[in-house]
């Protein structure tokens, strides 16, 4: 019985992951009403489904919404386009002082790898006699505090 339940659960996770991977294909979009109905039976309402899996037209509108308090256009994937006298910089952080934030238009962004971190010098191994004395002191303190 437990094996059947476990197999069914693994199969359900597999089917959901395949559907998520192919969520923008026409076949999955056509099956979307059936998926939403199935999720509604387990207590997930359509609004929640659309929040995490917006329809094609809703997705485009959601990518150009305002961020509220700052009044700056929210950019896809958190990328900010910052322009200043020295040029244009794309960053995932807020634009530096003296630059203007502009809306990110369609295109591609190349992400460069960070330079390698400097090697950290390994410290010398601790002295075994010192370690033994420290452990002895800790054991004595535990006995005293009991």
Q: Quote the pLDDT of residue 107.
A: 67
Highest mean pLDDT, choosing among 38-47, 49-58, 76-85, 116-125? 38-47
User: Is residue 119 a part of any domain in this protein?
Assistant: no
Q: Which of 112, 85, 109 is nearest to 96 (CA)?
A: 85
Q: What average pLDDT does this structure show over 35-45?
A: 84
Q: How many domains does the chain have?
A: 2
Owner of token pair 């295109």: 107
User: Is residue 96 a part of any domain in this protein?
Assistant: yes
Using a 10 angstrom Cβ sphere, with 0-12 exposed, 13-18 middle and 19 or more buried, the burial of residue 135 is: exposed
Say how far apart CA 3 and CA 111 lie, in whole Å: 45
- Comparing 113 with 60, the larger pLDDT belongs to 113
pTM: 0.30
Same domain, 18 and 41: yes
Sorted by sequence, the CB contacts under 8 Å of residue 74 that are 6+ apart come out as: 63, 64, 65, 66, 67
Q: Quote the pLDDT of residue 105.
A: 74
91 φ, ψ to 5°? -145, 160
User: Is residue 75 a part of any domain in this protein?
Assistant: yes
Highest mean pLDDT, choosing among 84-93, 105-114, 118-127? 84-93
Same domain, 50 and 75: no
Q: How far apart are the first and last CA of the chain?
A: 50
Same domain, 50 and 72: no
User: Is residue 141 a part of any domain in this protein?
Assistant: no
Q: What average pLDDT does this structure show over 131-144?
A: 88
CB-CB contact of 94 with 80 (8 Å): yes
Same domain, 53 and 87: no
% the chain with pLDDT above 90: 6
Q: What average pLDDT does this structure show over 3-7?
A: 92
- Comparing 105 with 99, the larger pLDDT belongs to 99
pLDDT at residue 10 tops 90:
yes
Say how far apart CA 4 and CA 72 lie, in whole Å: 52
Domain holding 30, by residue range, is 2-61
Q: What is the 3-state secondary structure (H, E, C) of 72-86?
A: CECCHHHCEEEEECC
Q: What average pLDDT does this structure show over 9-34?
A: 82
Q: Which two tokens stand for residue 49?
A: 């489904």
Same domain, 21 and 56: yes
């Amino acid at each position: 019985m437990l094996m059947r339940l476990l197999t069914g659960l693994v199969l359900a996770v597999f089917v959901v992951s395949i559907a998520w991977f192919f969520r923008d294909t026409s076949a999955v979009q056509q099956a979307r009403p059936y998926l939403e109905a199935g999720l509604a039976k387990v207590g997930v309402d359509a609004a929640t489904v659309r929040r995490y899996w917006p329809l094609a037209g809703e997705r485009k509108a959601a990518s150009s919404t305002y961020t509220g308090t700052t009044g700056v256009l929210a950019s896809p994937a958190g990328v900010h386009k910052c322009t200043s006298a020295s040029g244009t910089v794309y960053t995932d952080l807020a634009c530096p002082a003296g630059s203007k934030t502009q809306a990110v238009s369609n295109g591609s962004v190349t992400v460069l790898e960070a330079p390698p971190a400097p090697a950290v010098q390994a410290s010398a191994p601790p002295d075994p006699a010192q370690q033994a004395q420290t452990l002895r002191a800790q054991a004595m303190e535990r006995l005293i505090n009991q």
